[in-house]
C-alpha cells in the first residue's frame, strides 16, 4: 500500500480514501470552499441562480456559465486577480424546466450563453478569495461573441459563409475544454467537441473531412440548428470550419476581440500547454481528444521577448505545426519519437495528395496528420510541461477502440480496449522543445490491481489499491514539480472500477513515480481545471457536471437543490503550500 512506501520529500499530505459521497474530500489539515457556481451573477443586473432551470437567457448572459473546465489565474496585485474560466457545455436536464424536451428559440439563446468563457475579478478577503460583482474586468464570452479569425487560414474561401464572405469574422466559441496561459498575459481557450452543435433536418453530405470531425445531420442533442440558421448545415455547410481552433483572449481588456489562431490547427482541442524553448521560441503542445487521433506541437516563427510584451502579442500568428510519430524499442513500452511538420509542400502535403495550400493543411489538420503517418493515440487530453526539467506529460484518457482497424495495439497505446488510460511522458532531444526528436515512456498505466492483479489491466507498478483511478484527464504542475492528475472516468465503483469511487485528483512525484489521492469529488462529476495562486497556497479546482444524467447529486447546495458545476478553492489550515 502507499503507506508502506517511503514518504516522498515532495509530497507531504496523507492520502484520502476513495469516496462515493456527494461532497468534496481533501486531506487532513486542508479545507475547501466554493468560489463560484454555474448561474452566479457576474453583474448585478442579472437575477441570482434559481433552481430548476428557471433563469432566462438574459440572466445566463450575465451569470457564470455552465460546466466549468480549464481555468487560469491572472494576478493584479497581492489580493486582486482576474480568473478566466472555460464553460465547456451545458446539461439540458438542469438548464431548462422541460429538461430539453421542447427547446425554443429563447432556450437556444440561453444555452449559447451557458457556453464559452467567464472572465471576472476576484478579491482576497480575510485570506479567502471571492468574486467581485460588476468589476470592470467582468465579461461573458459565449457562442455569439464577435471574434476574428487570424493566421494562415484566415480569409481562405473554406472559412467563408453567407454572413461573412471575408472568412475572417466569426461569432462565438463553444465547447471550450481546457486552456493555456501565455507569458504575455493572455488566456488560451480550446475548442473541443464543436461538431455536436451543427445539424440539419434534411440529409447532408459534406464529404470525408466533415465525417472525420463528426459533422453530420444528427447533432449532439443541442438543437441549435432548429432555431439559429448558422448551425444548420444545409444552409451553412462551412460554418463548422470556423470552429475547432485555439482562441486567444486578453482578460485585462474587456473590450478586446478574441482571436482564433489558425496557425495552431483545427481539431478537437483539449488544452494548450505553452512553454518557451531555450532559445526563445514559443512551443505549444496540443492534444486532439478523440479515439485514434493525434498529438501536436506548434513552434512560433518569431522569438519571445521578455523585455517587450507588446511585441509578443502576435507570436501565435505564424509558426510551424507538427504532429507526433512514436516508435517503440522491441519488447519495451518506451522508445523514440519524431515531430513531423505539417507544412504545405513537405512530407506529401501537396496538391497531388489533395492539399491546395497551407490553409487547407490547417483546416483539415487531421487529414494532414494521417498523410504524414502520425501515430493514432488513446485520446490525448491535457499536456503539461515540467517547470524546470524539459519533460512533457500527456494524459491518454482511454480508448475502447484500441485494437480495432487502424488503431493497432503498441507503442504508447499498449492495451486493447483500453478503459483505464495512461500518462505518457517524453524528453525532447538536447532538452530543446523545438527539436524534431524525443524519447518517451509511460509514467503510469492506470488499472485495477484488485480486479486484474499483475496483468496489464492491473496497472503499472505505481498503482495500488490505495490510489486506483481511471481515465486521467486534467493535468498540471506546480512550481515545485509536483504533478497534479484529475480524472474524468467511470464512477460506478463496481466491476472493473470497483474501489475507485467518484472522480478525483491525485498528486504525483515525477522522480519516484509515487501517486497519492488528494481529493475526491461529488456524485457523477469529473474533476477538471486547476489554477494556483502565485504563492501556491491556494489551488482552484473545477467540479464539472455533478449529477449528470440525473444522477443523485445536489452539490454544492445540498437538500433537494439543482446540482451545479462549481469552482472550489483549497487551502491548508496553516496557510502553507499545497501538497507539501
Residue (194 or 231) nearer to ligand FEO, CB: 194
- Residue window 283-312: x/- pattern of binding to ligand FEO, with contact defined by CB under 6 A: ------x-----------------------
Q: Measured from the CB atom, is 61 or 381 closer to Ca ion?
A: 381
User: Footprint of Ca ion on residues 357-416 (CB under 5 A)?
Assistant: 381
Cα 275 from Cα 273, distance rounded (Å): 7
Strand order in the sheet with 30-37: 30-37, 566-572, 538-544, 526-532
509 scored as a contact of ligand FEO (CB under 6 A): no
Q: How far is the CB of 274 from ligand FEO (least distance, A)?
A: 18
# binding residues, ligand FEO (CB under 6 A): 6
Q: CB of 287: closest distance to Ca ion in angstroms?
A: 9
- Please tell me whether residue 240 adopts helix, strand or coil conformation: helix
Question: H-type helices in 481-540, by residue range?
Answer: none
**Residue 140, H or E segment:** strand 139-141
Cα–Cα distance, 192 to 210 (Å, whole number): 15
Residues 4 and 449: their CA atoms lie apart, in Å, by: 17
Q: Identify what 360 binds: Ca ion, ligand FEO, none; CB under 5 to 8 Å per kind.
A: none
Least separation, in Å, of the C-beta of 192 and ligand FEO? 5
Piece of the chain touching Ca ion by CB under 5 A; list 78-86, 100-108, 137-145, 486-494: 486-494
Binding track, positions 183-222, relative to ligand FEO; x by CB under 6 A = ---------x------------------------------
Pairing, β 259-261 against β 146-150: parallel
Least CB distance to ligand FEO at residue 69 (A): 6
In sequence order, what are the residues at sequence separation of 6 or more whose Cβ sits closer than 8 angstroms to the Cβ of residue 507?
Answer: 11, 13, 482, 483, 484, 485, 515, 516, 518, 579
Closer by beta carbon to ligand FEO, 25 or else 413: 413
Q: Which residue has the cell 481552433?
A: 245
Residue 66 binds to ligand FEO (criterion: CB under 6 A):
no
Site string for ligand FEO, 364-383 (x = CB under 6 A): -----------------x--
Between 176 and 275, CB nearer to ligand FEO: 176
**Strand segments (E) across 239-333:** 246-249, 259-261, 269-276, 281-288, 295-303, 319-328
DSSP secondary structure, 453-486, as one string = TTSGGG--TT--TTT----EEEEEE-TT-PEEEE
Residue 488, interface with Ca ion (CB under 5 A)?
Answer: yes
Q: Residue 501 Cβ, how far from Ca ion at the closest point, in Å?
A: 17
- The DSSP element (H or E) to which 159 belongs, if any, is none
Applying the rule CB under 5 A, the residues between 445 and 474 that interact with Ca ion are 473
Which is closer to ligand FEO, CB of 19 or CB of 67? 67
Q: Which does 192 bind (CB under 5 to 8 A by kind): Ca ion, ligand FEO, none?
A: ligand FEO
Which one-letter DSSP state was computed for residue 284?
E
- How long is the chain? 580
For the segment 381-400, give every residue that binds ligand FEO (CB under 6 A). 381
Toward Ca ion, which CB reaches closer, 40 or 381? 381
Identify which of residues 86 and 156 has a Cβ nearer to ligand FEO in the complex: 86
User: 511: burial class by Cβ within 10 Å (0-12, 13-18, 19+)?
Assistant: exposed
For 50, list phi and psi in degrees, rounded to 5. Answer: -120, 130
Which residue, 250 or 270, is less far from ligand FEO as judged by CB? 270
Q: Which stretch binds Ca ion (CB under 5 A): 30-38, 334-342, 485-493, 552-560?
A: 485-493
Binds ligand FEO (CB under 6 A): choice among 11, 26, 143, 177: 177
Alpha-carbon span 142 to 432, nearest angstrom:
37
CB of 272 to ligand FEO, least distance (A): 13
Q: Considering the complex, state which of residue 179 and residue 434 has its C-beta at the smaller distance from Ca ion.
A: 179
Between 137 and 420, CB nearer to ligand FEO: 420
| For ligand FEO, the closer CB: 87 or 371 | 87
Q: Please report, as residue ranges, which positions from 73 to 132 form the binding site for ligand FEO (by CB under 6 A).
A: 88
> Which position's Cβ is nearest Ca ion?
488
CA distance 392 to 483: 11
Interacting partner of 478 out of Ca ion, ligand FEO, none (Cβ under 5 to 8 A depending on kind): none
Interface with Ca ion in residues 230-269 (CB under 5 A): none
CB distance 325 to 376 below 8 Å: no
**Interior/surface letters 114-136, b for 16+ CB within 10 angstroms, e for the rest:** bbbbbbbbbeeeeeebebbeebe
Q: What is the C-alpha separation between 20 and 39, in angstroms, rounded?
A: 26
Establish if 270 lies at the interface with ligand FEO (CB under 6 A): yes
CA separation for the pair 440, 328 (Å, rounded): 9
Q: Which residues bind ligand FEO (CB under 6 A)?
A: 88, 177, 192, 270, 289, 381
Q: Which residues bind Ca ion (CB under 5 A)?
A: 381, 473, 488
Amino acid at each position: 500500500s502507499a503507506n508502506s512506501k517511503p514518504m516522498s520529500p515532495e509530497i507531504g499530505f496523507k492520502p484520502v480514501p476513495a469516496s462515493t459521497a456527494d461532497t468534496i474530500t481533501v486531506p487532513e489539515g486542508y479545507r475547501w470552499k466554493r468560489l463560484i457556481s454555474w448561474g452566479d451573477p457576474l453583474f448585478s443586473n442579472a437575477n441570482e441562480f434559481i433552481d430548476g432551470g428557471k433563469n432566462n437567457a438574459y440572466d445566463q448572459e450575465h451569470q457564470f456559465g455552465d460546466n466549468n473546465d480549464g481555468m487560469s489565474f491572472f494576478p493584479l496585485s497581492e489580493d486582486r486577480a482576474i480568473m478566466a474560466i472555460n464553460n465547456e457545455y451545458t446539461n439540458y436536464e438542469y438548464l431548462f424546466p422541460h429538461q430539453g424536451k421542447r427547446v425554443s428559440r429563447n432556450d437556444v439563446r440561453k444555452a449559447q450563453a451557458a457556453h464559452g468563457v467567464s472572465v471576472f475579478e476576484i478579491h482576497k478577503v480575510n485570506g479567502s478569495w471571492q468574486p467581485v460583482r460588476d468589476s470592470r474586468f467582468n465579461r461573458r464570452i459565449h457562442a455569439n461573441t464577435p471574434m476574428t479569425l487570424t493566421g494562415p487560414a484566415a480569409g481562405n474561401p473554406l472559412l467563408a459563409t453567407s454572413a461573412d464572405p471575408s472568412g475572417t469574422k466569426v461569432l462565438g466559441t463553444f465547447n471550450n475544454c481546457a486552456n493555456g496561459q501565455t507569458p504575455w498575459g493572455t488566456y488560451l481557450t480550446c475548442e473541443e467537441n464543436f461538431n455536436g452543435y451543427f445539424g440539419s433536418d434534411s440529409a447532408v453530405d459534406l464529404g470525408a473531412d466533415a465525417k472525420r470531425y463528426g459533422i453530420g445531420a444528427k447533432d449532439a442533442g443541442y438543437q441549435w440548428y432548429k432555431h439559429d440558421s448558422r448551425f444548420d448545415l444545409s444552409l451553412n455547410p462551412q460554418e463548422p470550419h470556423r470552429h475547432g481552433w485555439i482562441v486567444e483572449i486578453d482578460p485585462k481588456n474587456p473590450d478586446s476581440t478574441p482571436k482564433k489562431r489558425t496557425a495552431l490547427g483545427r481539431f478537437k482541442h483539449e488544452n494548450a500547454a505553452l512553454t518557451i524553448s531555450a532559445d526563445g521560441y514559443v512551443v505549444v503542445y496540443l492534444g486532439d481528444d478523440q479515439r485514434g487521433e493525434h498529438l501536436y506541437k506548434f513552434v512560433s516563427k518569431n522569438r519571445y521577448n521578455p523585455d517587450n510584451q507588446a511585441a509578443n502579442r502576435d507570436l501565435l500568428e505564424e509558426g510551424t505545426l507538427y504532429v507526433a510519430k512514436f516508435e517503440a524499442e522491441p519488447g519495451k513500452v518506451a522508445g523514440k519519437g519524431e515531430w513531423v511538420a505539417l507544412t504545405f509542400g513537405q512530407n506529401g502535403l501537396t496538391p497531388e495528395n489533395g492539399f491546395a495550400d497551407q490553409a487547407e493543411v490547417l483546416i483539415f489538420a487531421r487529414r494532414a496528420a494521417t498523410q504524414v503517418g502520425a501515430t493514432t493515440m488513446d485520446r490525448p487530453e491535457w499536456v503539461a510541461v515540467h517547470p524546470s526539467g524539459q519533460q512533457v506529460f500527456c494524459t491518454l484518457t482511454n480508448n475502447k477502440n484500441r485494437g480495432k482497424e487502424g488503431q493497432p495495439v503498441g507503442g504508447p497505446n499498449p492495451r486493447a480496449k483500453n478503459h483505464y488510460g495512461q500518462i505518457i511522458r517524453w524528453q525532447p532531444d538536447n532538452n530543446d522543445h523545438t527539436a524534431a526528436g524525443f524519447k518517451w515512456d509511460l509514467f503510469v498505466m492506470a488499472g485495477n490491481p484488485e480486479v486484474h492483479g499483475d496483468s496489464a489491466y492491473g496497472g503499472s507498478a505505481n498503482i495500488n489499491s490505495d490510489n486506483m483511478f481511471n481515465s486521467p484527464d486534467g493535468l498540471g504542475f506546480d512550481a515545485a514539480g509536483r504533478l497534479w492528475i484529475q480524472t474524468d472516468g467511470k464512477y460506478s465503483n463496481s466491476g472493473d472500477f470497483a474501489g475507485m469511487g467518484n472522480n478525483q485528483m491525485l498528486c504525483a512525484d515525477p522522480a519516484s513515480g509515487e501517486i497519492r489521492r488528494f481529493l475526491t469529488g461529488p456524485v457523477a462529476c469529473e474533476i477538471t481545471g486547476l489554477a494556483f495562486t502565485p504563492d501556491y497556497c491556494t489551488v482552484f479546482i473545477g467540479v464539472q457536471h455533478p449529477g449528470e444524467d440525473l444522477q443523485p447529486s445536489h452539490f454544492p447546495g445540498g437538500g433537494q437543490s439543482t446540482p451545479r458545476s462549481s469552482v472550489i478553492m483549497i487551502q491548508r489550515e496553516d496557510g502553507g503550500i499545497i501538497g507539501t
